[in-house]
């Protein structure tokens, strides 16, 4: 089954959110909504969307500040900004802060859908970052750089491979045998104790203060391991 691409609509006007929800849903996308920047960040942490449609004029934190915060976290999800402002300077500022495209209100629905499709096509050619572990862990799939709470973490190739498999299945239990085959190959002769040693090293690096009560990389006894969303 092909998974639908998801769009996060961020606007403080409930009427416009409902309109865009209907538009994108009818076009075959999964749609989520947020009314301000803080709700937007929570949605991204819970499950990053494939694209964000973001209003410039938001309460508390404006759209440009939201974009800057997202980009500072290393999140490369495409962002299309909506604005009632017509001055070229406002559009330039939005693009400079990290937005991928800009549309003035009122906008043509067909043009908006066309721009959304273009951004999603373009994003498929860009290897983006994975955000997991309650937003604390960011994995850059292109550079293989891993950051935890904003600081780079030095992982061995094996530790990175383990984390990648767990991140690809974030929120789900990955069985011991699946991890052994994915990291060490189909003919791996390594046993469960070998895997446990590497998981222990990985856990020390991605949540060094966990002690005996890890929060992010969890052991599902007798089954496997799970990386929380």
DSSP E strands: which ranges in the chain?
6-10, 30-34, 51-55, 79-83, 101-104, 129-132, 137-140, 146-148, 151-153, 173-175, 217-220, 224-227
Report yes or no: 41 and 69 within 8 Å, Cβ to Cβ. yes
What is the reported pLDDT for 56? 92
Q: In what order do the strands lie in the sheet with 79-83?
A: 30-34, 6-10, 51-55, 79-83, 101-104
User: Any bridge partners for residue 139, and if so which?
Assistant: 130, 146
What is the reported pLDDT for 150? 85
Written as six digits, the tokens of 46 are: 């819970």
| Cα dihedral 74, 48, 106, 11 sign | negative
What is the reported pLDDT for 181? 86
What is the reported pLDDT for 48? 82
Instruction: Please give the average pLDDT of every successive group of 10 residues along the chain, which has 229 residues.
Output: 80 95 96 94 84 92 91 83 78 82 90 92 66 86 84 89 90 91 76 88 88 88 92
What is the reported pLDDT for 212? 77
Report yes or no: 123 and 78 within 8 Å, Cβ to Cβ. yes
């Amino acid at each position: 089954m092909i998974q639908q691409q998801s769009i996060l609509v961020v606007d403080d006007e409930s009427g416009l959110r409902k309109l865009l929800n209907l538009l994108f849903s009818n076009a075959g996308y999964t749609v989520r909504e947020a009314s301000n920047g803080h709700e937007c960040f929570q949605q991204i942490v819970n499950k990053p969307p494939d694209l964000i449609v973001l209003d410039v004029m938001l309460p508390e934190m404006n759209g440009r500040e939201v974009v800057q915060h997202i980009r500072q976290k290393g999140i490369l999800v495409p962002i299309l900004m909506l604005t009632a402002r017509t001055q070229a300077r406002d559009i330039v500022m939005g693009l400079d802060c990290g937005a991928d495209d800009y549309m003035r209100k009122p906008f043509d629905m067909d043009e908006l859908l066309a721009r959304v499709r273009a951004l999603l096509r373009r994003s498929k050619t860009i290897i983006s970052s994975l955000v997991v572990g309650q937003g604390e862990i960011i994995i850059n799939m292109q550079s293989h750089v891993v950051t935890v709470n904003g600081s780079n973490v030095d992982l061995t190739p094996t530790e990175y491979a383990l984390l990648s498999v767990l991140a690809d299945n974030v929120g789900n239990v990955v069985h011991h045998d699946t991890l052994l085959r994915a990291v060490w190959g189909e003919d791996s002769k390594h046993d469960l104790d070998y895997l446990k040693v590497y998981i222990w090293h990985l856990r020390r690096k991605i949540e060094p203060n966990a002690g005996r009560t890890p929060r992010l990389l969890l052991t599902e006894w007798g089954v496997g391991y799970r990386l929380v969303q």
